[in-house]
Amino acid sequence: METRFMTILCTRSYPHLRRVFQEFVKMTNYDVEHVIKKEMSGDVRDAFVAIVQSVKNKPLFFADKLYKSMKGAGTDEKTLTRIMVSRSEIDLLNVRREFIEKYDKSLHKAIEGDTSGDFMKALLALCGGED
């Protein structure tokens, strides 16, 4: 099963995968992500789930990663920085929208609450304005 999923997830375009996911639900009454989580484990499972989530809604995928990087004690500065820098000129506005919709606070406020100093200033500059 892993080989089939790997072949499909790694060789098809995002639009094609979206269509495959829709047809999969019609045929099985299960979401692809649910099946992967149920039937697989370890790093392969995590990688496949990440691919499926990013295909379904890339801005939400990154909003979730940003939230997790700041959730709880400590900050995953590497992840936070990587996503903020890599998405800043691509789709950060969409990521910000998904973040506020899912977590009921703006990415700007989350950064202010979890970081400090020059690191915070740099992230806020990348983030843009308050939502």
Give the chain's domain count.
2
For residue 91 the two structure tokens come to: 């789709």
Same domain for 79 and 34?
A: no
What CA–CA distance (Å, rounded) separates 56 from 93? Answer: 17
Same domain for 66 and 110?
A: yes
57-73 pLDDT per residue, tens: 999 999 999 999 999 88
Same domain for 31 and 69?
A: no
The answer to whether the CB of 96 falls within 8 A of the CB of 106 is yes
List the beta strands (DSSP E) in 3-127: none
What CA–CA distance (Å, rounded) separates 90 from 15? Answer: 18
Same domain for 44 and 25?
A: yes
59-113 pLDDT per residue, tens: 999 999 999 999 988 899 999 999 999 999 999 999 999 999 999 999 999 999 9
The answer to whether the CB of 117 falls within 8 A of the CB of 77 is no
Same domain for 30 and 44?
A: yes
Same domain for 48 and 65?
A: no
Average pLDDT of 107-122?
A: 97
Answer whether residue 2 shows pLDDT above 90: no
Same domain for 69 and 109?
A: yes
Same domain for 72 and 112?
A: yes
18-54 pLDDT per residue, tens: 999 999 999 999 999 999 999 999 999 999 999 999 9
Same domain for 82 and 113?
A: yes
pLDDT band at 130 (very low <50, low <70, confident <90, very high): confident
pLDDT of residue 74: 87
Residue 34: give the domain boundaries.
2-56
Same domain for 63 and 123?
A: yes
Of 97, 98, 85, whose CA–CA distance to 125 is shortest?
A: 85
Q: What is the CATH number of the domain that holds 66?
A: 1.10.220.10
pLDDT of residue 1: 78
pLDDT of residue 44: 95
Same domain for 51 and 108?
A: no
